[in-house]
């Protein structure tokens, strides 16, 4: 007799970024909020993240989203985001994928036309608008986090690169924003490895300088992300487009432009007087996928100019599957995981 350990997954992608949505197999987590449940996973059950983002089950370029019951009465469901760099409190692409999976899997019933509901992320409540046509989720629009510019056009000496000019934005994590052309990039797919190496060098140099402090959250650790900005093209009145690429971890350039990267870019453009509330920016990735960010409001919060925004994108369901966790496999490590598996109580011949 041996324990059958399994997880139920829905694999999705938005703009090329794969998000594995865990819809079954995990026990209820302790915590009175989704944020506290995320902290429990991070501190006491990190094995789930490691299992699904490493061989033989996954790769670091993927993300994982665990569906949990909402703790807030306004929210339909909660979700916890896991990436190779840890546990971001918010992600646009993961939110788009999670909302789509919940609808396509019937966990939130679909309604034809425009449908509104609320999800609970570790960052708090997120308003969602789904556009459903002929029973298919064609687009998800989700709120981005309030975003602001922390540092504008500073410079740093980076080994092997030289002097680099950068700005810093907060949009759910701290981002370094750099001009791609100034660093010799046209943001084409063949540059992906060089972009990753360049971004890693810049982020390492910035991390040596120290962490960044959010004006309400405090110290959120070292800066993890970098966003390469291409030239801005005006497509129509109040509508702009720019090629972009987002770095999230050593050797990892996101397939999409990322929702938080798009929010960061909107904040910088507003800081420079290039966009106003109601204007939209489409960021286009190395793979020609895109997200559309809209600046919905600009406001003053204490000593900071903050922009509110939404991110719109489309996710696709790739697979519905059961992951069988074989504890006899030498490549599988259940440390930090076994105690939260629902199936740990069942045995099979």
* Residues labelled catalytic: 91
Give how far Cα 239 sits from Cα of 180, 225, 236, 293, Å: 21, 26, 5, 10
HEC readout, the chain: CEECCEEEEEEEEECCEEEEEEEECECCCCCCCHHHHHHHHHHHCCHHHHHHHCCCCCCCCCEEEEEECCCCCCCCEEEEEEECCECCCCCHHHHHHHHHHHHHCCCCCCCCEEEEEEEEECCEEEEEEEEEECCEEEEEEEECCCEEEEEEEEEEEECCCEEEEEEEEECCCEEEEEECHHHCCCCCHHHHHHHHHHHHHHHHHHHHHCCCEECCCEECCCCCEEEEEEEEEEEECCEEEEEEEEEEECCEECCCCCHHHHHHHHHHHHHCCCCCCCCEEEEECCCCCEEEEEEEEEEEECCEEEEEEEEEECEEEEEEEEEECCCCCCCCCCCCCHHHEHHHHCEEC
CB 164 within 8 A of CB 156: yes
User: d(Cα 14, Cα 97) in Å, to the nearest integer?
Assistant: 6
């Amino acid at each position: 007799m041996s324990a059958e350990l399994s997880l139920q997954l829905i694999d999705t992608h938005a703009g090329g970024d794969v998000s594995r949505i865990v819809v079954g197999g995990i026990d209820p987590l302790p915590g009175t909020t989704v944020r506290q449940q995320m902290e429990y996973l991070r501190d006491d059950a990190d094995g789930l993240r490691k299992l699904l983002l490493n061989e033989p089950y996954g790769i670091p370029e993927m993300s994982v989203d665990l569906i949990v019951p909402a703790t807030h009465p306004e929210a339909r469901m909660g979700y916890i985001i896991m990436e190779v760099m840890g546990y971001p409190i918010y992600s646009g692409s993961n939110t788009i994928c999670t909302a789509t999976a919940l609808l396509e899997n019937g966990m939130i019933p679909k309604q034809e036309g425009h449908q509104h509901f609320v999800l609970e992320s570790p960052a708090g409540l997120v308003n969602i608008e789904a556009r459903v046509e002929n029973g298919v989720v064609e687009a998800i629009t989700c709120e981005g986090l309030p975003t602001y510019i922390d540092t504008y056009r500073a410079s740093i000496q980076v080994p092997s690169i030289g002097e680099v000019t950068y700005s810093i934005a907060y949009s759910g994590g701290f981002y370094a924003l750099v001009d791609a052309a100034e660093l010799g990039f046209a943001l084409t797919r063949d540059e992906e490895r060089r972009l990753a190496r360049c971004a890693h060098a810049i982020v390492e140099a910035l991390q040596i300088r120290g962490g960044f402090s959010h004006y309400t959250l405090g110290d959120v650790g070292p800066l993890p992300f970098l966003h390469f900005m291409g030239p801005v093209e005006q497509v129509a009145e109040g509508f702009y487009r720019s090629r972009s690429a987002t770095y999230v971890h050593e050797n990892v350039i996101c397939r999409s432009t990322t929702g938080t990267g798009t929010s960061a870019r909107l904040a910088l453009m507003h800081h420079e007087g290039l966009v106003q509330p109601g204007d939209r920016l489409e960021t286009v990735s190395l793979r020609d996928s895109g997200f559309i960010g809209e600046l919905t409001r600009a406001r003053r919060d204490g000593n900071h100019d903050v922009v509110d925004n939404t991110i719109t994108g489309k996710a696709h369901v790739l697979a519905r599957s059961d992951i069988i966790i074989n504890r006899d496999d030498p490549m599988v490590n259940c440390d930090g995981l076994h105690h939260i598996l629902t199936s740990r109580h069942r045995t099979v011949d």
